[in-house]
A and B are shown apart, each in its own frame.
Chain A
C-alpha cells in the first residue's frame, strides 16, 4: 500500500506500525514528532498505531530558527 511521508509517496507492507516505519527510516523517535492525517501521534502510541493505505504523514524534527 502507499502512504505519503513528508510530501513523497512510499510503499509499505500491510500491518506496518509507526514504530516499524521509523525503524525503516533509521530515525530516533525521541527527537521527532509524527502526525498521521494532521493528528499528532505521541511516542506512546507508535507501536500500536498501524498505517492505512493513503495515510498522509508528517515527520518533523528541530532545526535552526529564530
Chain B
C-alpha cells in the first residue's frame, strides 16, 4: 500500500539517504533496523509526506503522496511519534480523540461516534482504564500505549511507529511488541523502527537493514538477521540463537569483543 521508489531523502541540501525502494503489504509488520543516525526517522518523515522527497517517489495505493490532503492521508496512515513531553495536561481520552481529527470537519467537535471510536481504540490496546487520567501524569509505557491507541483511532490501514520501544522498561517493551503483533493480526500493517533485532524476530514479517541511508538487506527476519549481517550493521559481534523457552530467535552482542569502536 505504501511504497517508495528510488527514494532519496534528507533536509534542505543535506542528503541523508537514497535508492530506497520498498513496498509495504497490507497487514504486514515491517521492521527497520539500523545504527543511530542512519536515517530511519528521516525516511519515516519522508514516507509520511512530512518531508518532500529529494528524488524518487512515495506512493500510497498507487498515487503520489504529495497529491493527498493531510486529512485524506491521515485516514489511511497513522503515525506514532517518539513520545515527547506534552505541554498541557490533556486527559488520555482527549489525546486519543485527537486521532479522530482527519474524520472530523474543521469547525466541528468530536461526536458521540468519535468518543466511541476513541474508547474502542483504548480498549483494543488494553488501556481503557487510563481514559480519565492526565497524559502528563502517566508513565512512559502508558504514554506509548496511548499514542498507539490514538493512531488506531484514526482507523488507518497502516501505522508508522518511530522507535516505539525507545526508553521503555523491559516489560513495557514486550507489551508494545505484543500490541504490534496483534495489530498485524487484525490486518493493520505496521512499519516500525527499533534498536533491538530481537524485536524484529518477535513481531516482524519482513525486516530491512539500513546503513548510511541505504537499505542493505530486506527480507524475512530469519533470512536477513544473521550474525554476520548484524555485525556488519552495528560493528559489534552478535550471537543469534534459537531460544526454545521463548519460541523464537534472540540476538545478543558479545560484550567481551566490543571494547573498540571501529
Bound together: no
A residues touching B (Cβ–Cβ < 8 Å)? Answer: none
